[in-house]
Amino acid sequence: MCGIWALFGSDECLSVQCLSAMKIAHRGPDAFRFENVNGFTNCCFGFHRLAVVDQLYGMQPIRVKKFPYLWLCYNGEIYNFKQLQKQFGFDYQTLVDGEVILHLYNRGGIEQTASMLDGVFAFILLDTANRKVFLARDTYGVRPLFKVLTDDGFLGVCSEAKGLINLKHSTSLCSKVEPFLPGHYEVLDLKPSGKVASVELVKFHSCKDEPLHVACDTVEALPSAGFDLETVKSNIRILFENAVRKRLMAHRRIGCLLSGGLDSSLVAAVLLKLMKEININYPLQTFAIGMENSPDLLAARKVAAHIGSEHHEVILNTEEGIQAIEEVIFSLETYDITTIRASIGMYLVSKYIRKKTDSVVIFSGEGSDELTQGYIYFHKAPSPEEAAEESERLLKELYLFDVLRADRTTAAHGLELRVPFLDHRFTSYYLSLPAELRIPKNGIEKYLLRLSFEDSNLLPKEILWRPKEAFSDGIASVKKSWFSILQDYIDQQVDDLLLEKAAEKYPFNPPKTKESYYYRQIFEKHYPGRSSWLPHYWMPRWVKATDPSARTLKHYKAAAQE
């Protein structure tokens, strides 16, 4: 986890512009560098470092003697950098995994570079010899990237939008800061003036396509093909274990978020098993947050006891959660209702990890609900085909919702997130399975995933088959969910008249409830006029829902009463 920032063609003094780079200092608490580009006095890079690999030579921008004309600023982890070195005979000069980007680019250009990287990444690559700038972001946008490009060719790039919104320039930047699309790379011409011109924006990978880097994976070919159930279950286990194993790459202590739900529990169980296999000599720390005796705390306690982790519980009190709302919205850069609700618990548990422990690399279960059809509304899908389409839509939009939440809440406290469910190989295989296999069965969502691990003894049966509970709901008690606690507080903060006139004040994505109005007010305070960053609110489909919480759906209510 790092913070990257770069400017090309700045009209203003770079020492003044550099203040904007400090807005993302939380992403890299270990070191900071600001570097001008030789021969281009109005171009520069800023980098905040969280040292996870190669403590000595990990500063950026990365430059190596072999390619003196290449400058690289990247945020992420490239899990197959050693396999790529072996396959292509690369001569690395550092232990930094990202150095492979320079070698791949030199060997085959930007298309091959982006396509061959197995990992999570956002990068800025400058080639001064050919006067090109390249931007790229991983398939699911696990690592964030924002950009602003003015009509006269001034380019700003940053890990978070807050590092761009106050840049000074001769023309207005208002409303032009936008997220860089996941699974894409962009080519820009660099002019002698330092200004740039966009040449092309290319989609290099779709979530359904098997990635090109499979040839450089530790599991080269699956033992058996076909869609008979036993083969599929075996392949799911092999690929998921592989996804966790490759993410063990770290020189800092590894921990794991554990809500007690299926996804985080599977990650924690497989993670601990593999840490033992490679003789990592410290216990796995797992972290749960919730109110006293909340469903998540009780379930997480059970999982931790089963797998034998060093378990930490963070007790959430209502006042602390409410007080965190504004700083959470500032960190997130969104006003989406369910994202904010779920982020408060994750933000506070990340704060605890940073202050009270030495775990820095944090595993989590994001992406599973979208991939394996875990949301309760999937029970209402009209057909397996429509459920499959919805799953793909959710995966494509992860960078706006759950992945955004997971990145910002952990990065705000200088932690690095790892999400094995979003492994390119694992997701492309799961999406290749027949639609009929992937739908909820017998009233249980994620049926295939649960079935695949049923005989593994990794988890207690009651956890493996525990029904879906949204993170923002599971941290509260069954009687009163977190969203209703928030709503009770906000009801006192927002006047009825304000809500009646909400559509006039906020014509784009107008708030429909006091809760959404309250969040929008805070968002507009910090990011005025930037509402287009959120194209639409996250809401369940195929049901007449007015609230994104699972606890408002009939299926949840029926299950809770049984």
Q: What is the pLDDT of residue 485?
A: 85
Residue 562 has pLDDT above 50, yes or no: no
Which residues in 115-136 are b (16+ Cβ under 10 Å) and which e? Answer: bbbbbbbbbbbbbbeeebbbbb
Is 2 catalytic? The answer is yes
Q: Smallest Cα–Cα separation from 138: which of 184, 100, 188?
A: 184
* 14 alpha carbon, distance to own chain's centre: 30
User: What domains are there in the chain, each with its CATH number?
Assistant: 3-203 (3.60.20.10), 222-552 (3.40.50.620)
**365 assigned ligand-binding residue:** yes
Residue 56 has pLDDT above 70, yes or no: no
Residue 395 has pLDDT above 60, yes or no: yes
Q: Whole-number mean pLDDT of the chain?
A: 91
pLDDT digits (tens, 9 = 90+) for 63-105: 999 999 999 999 999 999 999 999 999 999 998 999 999 999 9
pLDDT digits (tens, 9 = 90+) for 315-350: 988 899 999 999 999 999 999 999 999 999 999 999
pLDDT digits (tens, 9 = 90+) for 542-551: 988 777 765 5
Beta strands in 60-191 (DSSP E): 70-78, 119-127, 132-137, 146-149, 155-158, 178-179, 184-190
* Cα 398 to Cα 392: distance, rounded to the nearest angstrom: 10
pLDDT digits (tens, 9 = 90+) for 242-289: 999 999 998 899 999 999 999 999 999 999 999 999 999 999 999 999
* Cα 276 to Cα 171: distance, rounded to the nearest angstrom: 57
**431 assigned ligand-binding residue:** no
Q: What is the pLDDT of residue 206?
A: 93
Tokens of 23: 């807005």
Q: Smallest Cα–Cα separation from 30: which of 403, 407, 360, 355?
A: 360
**257 assigned ligand-binding residue:** yes
**97 assigned ligand-binding residue:** yes
For tokens 């010899």, the residue is 129
pLDDT digits (tens, 9 = 90+) for 191-242: 999 999 999 999 999 999 999 999 888 787 887 778 999 999 999 999 999 9
